[in-house]
Amino acid sequence: MSAVEVRHVSVDIGAAQLVRDVSLEFAAGQWHTIVGPNGAGKTTLVETIAGVRQPTRGAVEVSGTSIHTANERLRAQTVAFVPQHPIVPAGMKVRDYVGLGRTAYRSLLRGPSTRDHEIVNEVLNRLDIERFADRDVATLSGGERQRMVLARALAQHTMVVVLDEPITGLDIRHQVDLLEVLRREVEECGLTVIATLHDLTLAAQFADRLVLLADGQVRADGTPHDVLRSAELADSYGVALQVVTVGGSDVVVPVTATR
């Protein structure tokens, strides 16, 4: 069953075509990662899937909802989006920031309900951040901050979460920690994840499927094993690549000329 359907989507900005006639289906309860070189159109595509950017042509349907004709409240109840550089206001407690994920479920003049508090507490516990729930967001480390941002998205209680480079700026330990949290959400909660990642090795280790984007077009689509070994991968990045197996996992190594 498809959780997300992208039908002939193109996105133009001025004379530049950032996404070109992309059609994709994303199965429910799986992790789909979009990879590709800088300027491939990855961010534009996931922003369009999440409904925060309008396509020039084509349509996106998420969980049966036409995402670009839905109002803002319905869209927030359908898909959660984590941008690469989320705005996190200082002076706010972590618990309150995560609670912003419940905004779409109440009127402007109504405060959080008992159910809202229950969901926020559940998410804080699930992501193991309840211990700093009452701290100011400005005091968090990079890894803690990224978990908090993810917690806000999960508090929206959507079955689809779209993330743009969620591990940017994190060291390797915190990158793996965050990706393991997401993997657990997929396996235990049936979450559908659509993410962009620069690190091909980590993308292959955590995703069920890779979509290779280059020049705004899909160049390869399949299992991580197949996409990493495709001729299109090296061609899209413009560099020779070798895939080696280490401890049962694929590792992508650029092959450079000997000095």
Summarize pLDDT for 87-118 with one digit per residue, the tens: 888 899 999 999 999 999 987 667 788 899 99
Enter the tokens of residue 195. Answer: 């993410």
What's the half-sphere exposure (Cβ side, CA atoms, 13 Å) at 21?
0
Q: Which domain holds residue 191?
A: 2-254
**Lowest mean pLDDT: which of 96-110, 163-177, 184-198, 227-241?**
96-110
Distance CA 211, CA 227 (A): 8
3-state class of 208 per DSSP? coil
- Three-state secondary-structure class, residue 67: coil
Section 23-39 average pLDDT: 97
Domain CATH number, residue 47: 3.40.50.300
Whether 216 is covered by a domain: the verdict is yes
Q: Is 248 inside any structural domain?
A: yes
- Quickly list DSSP for 137-152: GGG--HHHHHHHHHHH
What number of residues does the chain have? 259
User: 259 in a domain, yes or no?
Assistant: no
pTM: 0.94
pLDDT computed for residue 109 by the predictor: 64
- CA separation for the pair 221, 212 (Å, rounded): 6
Give pLDDT tens digits for 54-94. 999 999 999 999 999 999 999 999 999 999 989 888 899 99
Residue 247 lies in a domain: yes
> What's the total number of domains in the chain?
1
Please report whether residue 246 resides in a domain. Answer: yes
